[in-house]
Structure 1
Amino acid sequence: MANHKSAEKRDRQSKVRRLRNRMSKSTMKTAIRQVEEAIVSGSEEQAKAALQAAIPVIYKTATKGTVHKNTAARKVSRLTKRVNKMQPLA
């Protein structure tokens, strides 16, 4: 438990930040899950649309500091690669 006024404030701020980070990370994971479900279903157009919706969400999570920017870039890269593999070779 916090014994000082400043420590109590720090505790309150930590709780608020933790909830905000958790919400942001959850939103990112949902966007990623939607892309993966579209890939599994085999719908190329749906996968592309889900990817286009997920990319800004992932980068926004990194911008806010919830995840590292390299982690966000890696996730986007891997999702993009999986969506691109769906396309038949012409």
Structure 2
Amino acid sequence: MANHKSSEKRIRQTKTKTLHNKYYAKTMRNAVRKLRATTDKAEATEMLPKVQKMLDKLAKQNIIHKNKAANIKSSIALHINSL
């Protein structure tokens, strides 16, 4: 249990931020999953900029690591090129 008011506040803030980050990380994972499941090249090409933008924003906000964003962007680009 927290012994100070500041640590109690920090616990509340961390809980709120964790929920916020989990929501956006899960949204990103679902978008990437949907893109990888796509077999139509035109549809996948249309989705690519939106997913890349989402990945860049999350990396900028430190919700995901910048290298993870780069790796995902690279792998989905390879997927689209192989269609």
Short-chain TM bin: over 0.9
1:60 & 1:8 partners in 2: Cα distance?
A: 30
Partners of 1:61 and 1:27 in 2: how far apart? 11
Partner amino acid for 1:63? K
Question: Structure 1: which amino acid aligns with 2:73?
Answer: V
Task: Compare CA radii of gyration and give the structure with the larger one.
Answer: 1
Q: TM-score, normalised by structure 2?
A: 0.93
Cα separation, 1, equivalents of 2:61 and 2:31: 17
Other-structure match for 1:63: 60
Q: Which residue of structure 2 aligns with residue 35 of structure 1?
A: 35
Unmatched 5+ stretches in structure 1: none
What is the deviation of 1:26?
1.0
- Would you say how many aligned residue pairs link Structure 1 and Structure 2? 83
Q: Structure 2, unaligned stretches of length 5 or more?
A: none
Q: TM-score, normalised by structure 1?
A: 0.86
- Contact 1:61-1:67 at 8 Å conserved across structures: yes
Identity of aligned residues (%): 35
Structure of greater relative contact order (alpha carbons < 8 Å, 6+ residues apart): 2
Q: Which residue of 1 aligns with 2:76?
A: 79
Inter-partner Cα distance in structure 2 for 1:37 and 1:81? 13
Residue 14 of structure 2: aligned partner: 14
CA contact (8 A) 1:35 1:50 kept: yes
Deviation at 1:68, TM superposition (A): 0.7
1:54 aligns with 2:51: yes
Moved over 6 A (4+): none
CA distance in 2 between counterparts of 1:49 and 1:37 reads 14
